[in-house]
Structure 1
Amino acid sequence: MVKVSVIGAGNVGATCANVLAFNRIASTIVMLDVKEGIAEGKVIDMLQAAQTLGFETNIISSTNNYELTAESDVIVVTSGIPRGPGMTREELIGTNANIVKSVVSQCLVYSPNAVFVIISNPVDTMTYLVSRFTGILKSKVIGMGGVLDSSRFKYYLRIALKANPSQIEGMVIGGHGDTTMIPLKRLATYNGIPVTELLSVDVLNKVVADTMVGGATLTGLLGTSAWYAPGAAGAYVVESIVKDYKRIIPSCVLLEGEYGQENICIGVPVVVGRWGVEKIIDVGLNVEEKALFEKSVEAIRRVNNIL
């Protein structure tokens, strides 16, 4: 029996809960929101869809009743305000830091052993907040940024290659920001063949550029942050935890010497299993990648200093 709580019933949180339910990843899902009626209404909608789609997941909801989250295996935190057009993720820090700290503190009262998946933006700094100021083991705090950025990287590779998406592999590390993420061109493949051998330098550079503004592009089109891909990415991380899949997932985690960094949360490849972060993988960055990683670290530290 697996219990997952999703805090924040906005577009991302609701999508995450819906993916978890539809794919039977959890037996019980709890969804909370501070705004009365939002979580309740969306859960009723999901359960009515269950009659058609055929899933039997138990989904419950409430307005801020954290007792319902008791003994959760995983808690997904999506709470906070989303980006609007022209906003950076960093501009959200003042409001969202207070929200995230309050949410996590209340969850810990009822689920002290849960693994936390942080989606609230700016995710690198919100993950740092939870890792450093709540007393949770660092292995039980995972920031969801790299999965989403990698899915966007693979999407643009798919377009450039005119390829089968199931045969494309690609990874993005670094910060979850328009100027801090690092799509690893060198490691991207199509059916095992390096994409550097299949695409010209100019085309591949455009893929990287499009990936880095992938979120901002959608915000400009939608008038708010995207939600289908972020919600699915959160569910993907949860699935690797509760099913102990031990997937290698680019995730924002606290580094304590790895990649030559201390006291910072940033996206790197990690093995994600039943107990959260089981191992941090060093992929051996080349000179160019190390320089980009250092710049990403510096940018995140500046935002952390504001925190």
Structure 2
Amino acid sequence: MKVTVVGAGAVGATCADNIARKEIVDELVIVDIKEGFAEGKALDLTQTTSLLGFDTTITGSTNDYSKTAGTHVAVITSGIPRKPGMSREDLIGTNAGIVKEVATHILKYSPEAILIIISNPMDTMTYLALKSLGLPKSRVIGMGGALDSSRFKTYLSLASGASQNDIQATVIGGHGDTTMIPLTRLASCQGVPFSKILSPDQLEKVASDTMVGGATLTKLLGTSAWYAPGAAGAAVVESIIRDERKVIPCSVYLDGEYGESDICIGVPVVLGKNGIEKIVELELNETEKAKFKASADAVRNMNKVLHDMKVL
């Protein structure tokens, strides 16, 4: 099995590191536009093989996509990252052209590849890749929900003292500071609802902290985060390559599910060897339904920018 990670920056390199360490595939290719950058990252990772005990073959390439031929899953992290004060939406002008070009190159050599989109604004970039390339909706997946749900679990753990590994928690909606929806009502720890563990005020703060989780890190770091985004991307890849059929929130194309159509937005999905095996429809209450509709409207408005820019 073969995976390609496009973009050798912090997120791409971290994603590649996780994939290599866990021996998810036999062959891993890293591609970047900067001369020698991907090759350097690949060699550096390869030199950890004996230290960490994995045998994944890692190759770097400067914009030569012929080396990606036979890719089963491609992770696209290309584009400019957020800086302090920037929203994910601010990136659309630059990143739309990059994502479309990269995806086209990948499919030229691997026409059956499943695409994992990490580039921001992620829901819109996922929609762009799906619509511009005419791929089946099962093969274009935005990573955001996996990352947001991980951050949700972190804040629930910090507030309660529970182990993150014992927490079940899901974020749906857009991958944005104002559009994501941490489902506090459904969050639990070993089957015990968090509504019985934390006060309403504590749960409200957990949800608020989750929603600005990325912005908080951007302010602290001076750029976008990379450890958790890279690990989230690798987790999505792993479920697909190993056909684990895990339920992971991802940005996917809806065609009537949750009452929405013609949009890519975060919902729980079953991920297996074919990509999206099934969309899981949660039973939302009226408040959650209203929040999801508002989130979808915001994402749809962002998608209109693609048409205004004549990218679609």
| Structure 2 equivalent of residue 103 of structure 1 | 102
Offset at 1:166?
Answer: 1.2
TM-score (norm 1): 0.99
| Structure 2 equivalent of residue 193 of structure 1 | 192
Q: Within 2, Cα distance between the matches of 1:230 and 1:77?
A: 12
Structure 2 residue matching 1:277: 3-state secondary structure: strand
**Cα deviation 1:195-243 (Å, max 9, x = unaligned):** 0111000000000000000000000000000000000000000000000
1:184 aligns with 2:186: no
Q: For structure 2, which runs of at least 5 residues remain unmatched after alignment?
A: 307-312
| Structure 2 equivalent of residue 40 of structure 1 | 39
| Structure 2 equivalent of residue 90 of structure 1 | 89
Q: Within 2, Cα distance between the matches of 1:35 and 1:67?
A: 17
| Structure 2 equivalent of residue 10 of structure 1 | 9
- Which letter does structure 1 place at the counterpart of 2:147? L
Q: Within 2, Cα distance between the matches of 1:104 and 1:42?
A: 21
Offset at 1:191?
Answer: 1.2
- Which letter does structure 2 place at the counterpart of 1:14? A
Offset at 1:244?
Answer: 0.4
- Which letter does structure 2 place at the counterpart of 1:262? S
**Cα deviation 1:121-161 (Å, max 9, x = unaligned):** 00000000011110111100000000000000000000011
Structure 2 residue matching 1:152: 3-state secondary structure: helix
Offset at 1:51?
Answer: 2.1
Q: For structure 1, which runs of at least 5 residues remain unmatched after alignment?
A: none
- Which letter does structure 2 place at the counterpart of 1:265? C
- Which letter does structure 2 place at the counterpart of 1:176? H
- Which letter does structure 1 place at the counterpart of 2:49? A
Structure 2 residue matching 1:102: 3-state secondary structure: helix
**Cα deviation 1:255-302 (Å, max 9, x = unaligned):** 111111110000001111000001111101110100100110111011
Residues 71-90 of structure 1: pairs in structure 2 closer than 5 A: 71-90=70-89
| Structure 2 equivalent of residue 170 of structure 1 | 169
Residues 198-209 of structure 1: pairs in structure 2 closer than 5 A: 198-209=197-208
Structure 2 residue matching 1:83: 3-state secondary structure: coil
Q: Within 2, Cα distance between the matches of 1:277 and 1:166?
A: 24
Q: Within 2, Cα distance between the matches of 1:14 and 1:247?
A: 24
Aligned pair count reads 306
**Cα deviation 1:160-201 (Å, max 9, x = unaligned):** 111122111100000000000000011110111000111000
| Structure 1 equivalent of residue 274 of structure 2 | 275
- Which letter does structure 2 place at the counterpart of 1:92? L
| Structure 2 equivalent of residue 235 of structure 1 | 234
1:113 aligns with 2:81: no
Percent identity of equivalent pairs: 60
Q: Within 2, Cα distance between the matches of 1:62 and 1:248?
A: 33
**Cα deviation 1:68-101 (Å, max 9, x = unaligned):** 0101010000000000001000000010000000
TM-score (norm 2): 0.97
- Which letter does structure 2 place at the counterpart of 1:122? P
| Structure 2 equivalent of residue 134 of structure 1 | 133
Q: Within 1, Cα distance between the matches of 2:157 and 2:232?
A: 18
- Which letter does structure 2 place at the counterpart of 1:220? K
Q: CA RMSD in A?
A: 0.6
Moved over 6 A (4+): none
Structure 1 residue matching 2:98: 3-state secondary structure: helix
Q: Within 2, Cα distance between the matches of 1:103 and 1:112?
A: 13
Q: Within 1, Cα distance between the matches of 2:36 and 2:69?
A: 21
Offset at 1:54?
Answer: 1.4
Q: Within 2, Cα distance between the matches of 1:229 and 1:164?
A: 17
Q: Within 2, Cα distance between the matches of 1:70 and 1:164?
A: 41
Offset at 1:254?
Answer: 0.5
| Structure 2 equivalent of residue 219 of structure 1 | 218
Structure 2 residue matching 1:132: 3-state secondary structure: helix
- Which letter does structure 1 place at the counterpart of 2:53? G
| Structure 2 equivalent of residue 290 of structure 1 | 289
